[in-house]
Amino acid sequence: MFLARFEANKIYPLGKNLTYCEYPRHFVWVADKREWKPRKIGVSIGRLTYIPPGSGELYYLRLLLNYQKGYCNYDSIKTVNGFIHQTYKEACYAMGSLANDKELLMPL
């Protein structure tokens, strides 16, 4: 489902303005075709699975998915202000989500 979202963001302009959690509100997962399609009726609430901070890069990826929009590949998730960072952690710092290793900030 996650990788299919990359493809849907390339096809549907609406997907480029949505975060990971906002996606199910506007798109529906078609399991037999294994793809996302624009939602015609109804509403759904998206959620992210809990990832403990000690999980390293997986935790920082989850954190970025709360803010990044329109990503079409893994590098676009790590892109902040036009610069592709080497790690998700570096991208979180560049975005201003982390002040240091022990503090989580909400970006403005």
Residue 95 CB: number of other CB atoms within 10 A?
Answer: 17
HEC per residue, 13-61: HHHHHCCCCCHHHHEEEECCCCEEEECCCCCCCCCCCCCCHHHCHHHHH
Residue-wise pLDDT for 41-93, tens only, equals 887 877 778 899 889 899 999 999 989 998 999 999 999 999 999 999 999 98
Q: According to the model, what pLDDT value does residue 11 have?
A: 92
Sketch the domain layout of the chain as residue ranges. Answer: 2-38, 53-104
For 82-91, which contacts have Cβ atoms below 8 Å and span 24 or more sequence positions?
87/57, 87/60, 88/57, 88/60, 88/61, 88/63, 88/64, 89/56, 89/57, 89/60, 91/60, 91/64
**Contact assessment for residue 88 and residue 98, using Cβ atoms and an 8 Å cutoff:** no
For residue 108, the model assigns a pLDDT of 46
> What percent of the chain clears pLDDT 70, i.e. is strictly above it?
91
Per-residue pLDDT at 21: 87
